Amino acid sequence: MTITNTSICNEALNLCGAKSINNLEDGTDNARRCAALYDSTRKALLRMHPWSCAKKRVVLAPTTTHPTFGYKNAFPLPKDFLRVYDPNTQCFEIENRHILSNQDSIQLVYIYDNDNEETWDSLLVEAMALYLCSKIAKPITGSQAESDSAYQKLMNLLKQARAINGQERPAQDFFVGEANLVEVRY
């Protein structure tokens, strides 16, 4: 089955017992609700967890305008940027759509606004349906309990996604300067 914004919206509508839609522009109340919430919900959900299907890598060059104080360089963030995953520096700050740092360049791994549902992980699809359901359930059913239930299921699903994400990445050592944290104790 092809995953689309309409199929995800229909899953959310079905979760709260509402009628399906043909597309986001079909003029029904349910389509209007989904269309109004879909983009902002997707962006918020992509920020909640570092989904592997929404990672990008880029090398950033500094702008010619430098921060007034505190950092040597400012690096403009990509247009599709939603969240830092790994800036490859420990000393940085995000401010006004820029990364401020003393580095001369930044090798940035970030979460981008992936709006191509076909590339999404199956857990992201399910999470999106639950998140949408939590937002549309009360207006459709009149029940805050339906909305709260969907949101709680989303939070549990995000815990599962974090656990799976941890299994799909190699173990990483924690370091303090040059010493391993275990060695620091002794």
- Using CA atoms, how far apart are residues 92 and 108, in angstroms rounded to an integer? 12
Sign of CA dihedral 129, 165, 180, 106: negative
pLDDT at 103: 95
pLDDT at 176: 46
pLDDT at 170: 65
pTM listed for this prediction: 0.86
- CA neighbours within 13 Å on the CB side: how many for 167? 6
**Domain chopping of the chain, boundaries:** 5-51+116-166, 52-112
The single residue listed with the structure tokens 């969907």 is 150
pLDDT at 165: 78
Q: Are 24 and 38 in contact (CB under 8 A)?
A: yes
- Using CA atoms, how far apart are residues 113 and 120, in angstroms rounded to an integer? 11
Whole-Å CA distances, 66 to 60, 71, 96? 14, 8, 13
Give exposure, 140-169, as e/b (b: 16+ Cβ within 10 Å).
Answer: beeeeebbebbbebbeebbeebeeeeeeee
The single residue listed with the structure tokens 């805050």 is 144
Q: One digit per residue, pLDDT tens: the chain, 186 residues?
A: 799 999 999 999 999 999 999 999 999 999 999 999 999 999 999 999 999 999 999 999 999 988 999 999 999 999 999 999 999 999 999 999 999 999 999 999 999 999 999 999 999 999 999 999 999 999 999 989 999 999 999 999 999 998 887 787 765 554 444 445 455 454
- What residues contact 171, with CB distance under 8 A and at least 6 apart? none
